[in-house]
Amino acid sequence: MPKPLIYLGLLLGLGLVVGLLWHVPLQQGGEAPAVQAGVLVVDALTGEPVPGARLVRLDARGGDLGTPLEADDSGVVDVAVATPRLVRLTADGYVPQVVAVGRPDDGVAGGPPLDRPQVVAISPDSDTTVSLRVAGQVMMGGGLFQPISSSIGPVLDDPADAAAHAAVLAAVGPLLADADLSLATLGAPLVSDPGTSAPDPVSPGAAAAGEGSAPVTASTATSGALADAGIDVVSLANGRLADAGSGGVDQTVTALDEVGVAHFGAGATEEQAWAPALIEVRGRTVAFVGCSDIDVTGPDGQQIPFEPGPAPCTVDRLRQGVADAAAQADDVVVALDAGTTRSGEPEYDADADQRARDLAEAAASAGATLVVDSRSHQPRGIVSLGGVPWALGTGDLVDDNTTWATLPATLLHAVLDGGTVTTASLDPLAMVHYRPVPVSGSLADSIARQVTAEPGGILGLGDRRARWPVPSSTSESVDGDAGVIVRLGTAQTLDASATPARVGRDLLWGTGSMEDLETDPAAAGSTLWALGRYVTTSMESTCSGVQGLRLRRGPLSEKDVVISPQYREPVVPGTRLTLTANVRLASEGASLEVRWYRTLDPTKRSSGAQSVAITPHRLSGPCAPVRLDLTVPPDMVAVQPFIRLSPRHDVNLAAELRVDDVRLVAWSDAAVSSTATGFGPLLDTVELPDSGSVPVSRLRG
């Protein structure tokens, strides 16, 4: 055979091998090296450092890893961190607390890394204090029994599998167990034969009215999972508790009694439903009272006789219930199921919100120490009712919601002392494939911003957490070049004197950093994003932080590689948006894209799309920014960004894209957003008209 033909055959064979290799699904990139992360431990009341505080790293089940590390005279503890993890902080005379600690550079998403110790406030302890954790609704049914995607199976297969149910809450167990008492709300009755079908999507307004919504149930195995996670008491004051009738109420109570989890807020009779749960801890008695704002009037306007289920809220009955409980306890915690559900759509029921406030004020005036609400599926802040904190919602602890707005949540940590709350903080969580996981980095910062932005709220924006009381602030600045979109640093808020041309908020909550933002040791990064088979996290793709994403298509490939956040984001028509990313490497065929939707229902198709091609970029140069400026079209309520890599349709050429720092910024009118003290913590992004700096503020301790 002539040599040219032999060479041609070898080249074609080599091309075939290369093409096949490019078809192999990619594996996740290597582990990031550990770095030293400083933790500054301060007194939650004074803001002063706590010398001698001790820090110990925890394993996935909350067990100690290694010996405790001790803070120096300035209150700083240095700990080696490769990925976010939970640590336990202790000090003589202080309440122990578990918090998430991350890398200084995790999740900066184009903003500055944390160039100082992460500040964590811990609460003074005494003989009269009781620490309390409060979580949101727990509903382990419906969608948890359905496949998450074509490549990821269901969270639960067997309703009777106790171990699988316990695994759902395993990641948050160490936080739930760090307090004297932990409270959650049951979001569905517990029965032996629960429904395992995914719920039919309905609007929040329809759900609140009970329209188009099938009964919701969960397995009795949920009770064991609650106990294993460290939850001591649950509120049954939820409108869903009667979904399985009186038999469901009986099964729920029996299942909780069998595992020793106290309960309140529902029963077979109205007297049982209003009976407080009285729990003694550390020589103190804490009472729990709950009710649900449900309609108990018939078509004729007359009140319907009580049926087994939740205690129906009225101002007078709640005031009486709280007063009765206060006569038997040192502290009273009131759990409400009231207000707007807040599932993501910008539809709020003003009447329901006013009823919730009336109920909370009645509870506060009757002697409540703390009022909490669980109806909101999104995390909210804390307001003061004459000195009594009202936590408007922590978001769901576990649920099968499939909207972007319901993925974040918080865990409230409050210290009660003789009828008052002395300190409160909110630890950020994210619902990762229906499992609540503590988070760090820019995602934690974004969730903290969301809850501190509550109108009339009392929380301050701390380092990746929200806290109260709020210490004084210090002034800083953020530098930027003209026309460059800059994310603020951790816990920074714009000063009122700042006059940037544009201010906005990253609707992706910093998850486009592609960093590992979860404390789950099995996580590899790209938290809350859906990645295809030919996508991997890669340290060689980073533009800031530790890692970015690498997309590849081989010469023989025919289909696009597409990645996006897990769900579409709610938007308002007329809002100006910018989708931006930093590109480390790009071949032809890469693009940024958004799709518009008339509904949040993930089963419905898009109603339009816009895109911008990514200019080919060599690896040798610095990262190149790419942006797509948009305005939300009329009638559109949701948007979803995509990163797309198309094959090159050339047997000799592969396609590759290395991308990082993806952000979807919703711009705000500065004149509307500004307040007397600043632009508000929700706004985390600026674009300067000229090179220079922007004044910002940050809490001191």
For residue 223, the model assigns a pLDDT of 98
For residue 107, the model assigns a pLDDT of 54
Identify residue 587 by its one-letter amino acid code: S
pLDDT in tens, 554-586: 888 888 999 999 999 999 999 999 999 999 999
pLDDT in tens, 437-454: 999 999 999 999 999 999
| Secondary structure (3-state) at 167 | helix
pLDDT in tens, 70-97: 999 999 999 999 889 999 999 999 999 9
Does residue 671 carry a pLDDT above 50? no
For residue 603, the model assigns a pLDDT of 87
Does residue 309 carry a pLDDT above 80? yes
For residues 298 and 301, what is the distance between their CA atoms, to the nearest angstrom? 5
DSSP state of 544: S
For the segment 493-498, the average pLDDT, to the nearest whole number, is: 76
For the segment 223-242, the average pLDDT, to the nearest whole number, is: 97
* β-pair partners for 479: 693
Backbone angles phi, psi at 459, to 5 degrees: -80, 150
For residues 151 and 426, what is the distance between their CA atoms, to the nearest angstrom? 34
For residue 108, the model assigns a pLDDT of 60
Does residue 210 carry a pLDDT above 50? no
Q: Which two tokens stand for residue 280?
A: 């003694």
For the segment 459-488, the average pLDDT, to the nearest whole number, is: 92
For residues 40 and 78, what is the distance between their CA atoms, to the nearest angstrom? 9
DSSP state of 198: P
Decide if 326 contacts 367 (C-beta within 8 A): yes
Does residue 12 carry a pLDDT above 60? no
For residue 660, the model assigns a pLDDT of 96
Does residue 502 carry a pLDDT above 50? yes
Pick the CATH number of 129-439 from 3.40.50.2030, 3.30.1490.100, 3.40.50.150, 3.60.21.10: 3.60.21.10
Domain limits, the chain: 129-439
For residues 631 and 301, what is the distance between their CA atoms, to the nearest angstrom? 46
Minimal CA–CA distance to 596: which of 626, 571, 561, 576?
Answer: 571
Chain position carrying tokens 């319907």: 304
For the segment 528-546, the average pLDDT, to the nearest whole number, is: 90
Please provide the size of the chain in residues. Answer: 701
For residue 368, the model assigns a pLDDT of 99
pLDDT in tens, 322-349: 999 999 999 999 999 999 888 766 667 8
Decide if 627 contacts 485 (C-beta within 8 A): yes
For residue 693, the model assigns a pLDDT of 87
- Give residue 379's pLDDT band: very low, low, confident or very high (50, 70, 90): very high
Whether a cis peptide bond, with omega within 30° of 0, leads into 565 is no
Backbone angles phi, psi at 695, to 5 degrees: -75, 135
- Give residue 234's pLDDT band: very low, low, confident or very high (50, 70, 90): very high
**Residue of higher predicted confidence among 196 and 66:** 66
Minimal CA–CA distance to 425: which of 473, 462, 374?
Answer: 462
For the segment 133-156, the average pLDDT, to the nearest whole number, is: 93
Does residue 14 carry a pLDDT above 50? no
pLDDT in tens, 590-632: 999 999 999 988 889 999 999 999 999 998 889 999 999 999 9
Output the average pLDDT for the chain. Answer: 89
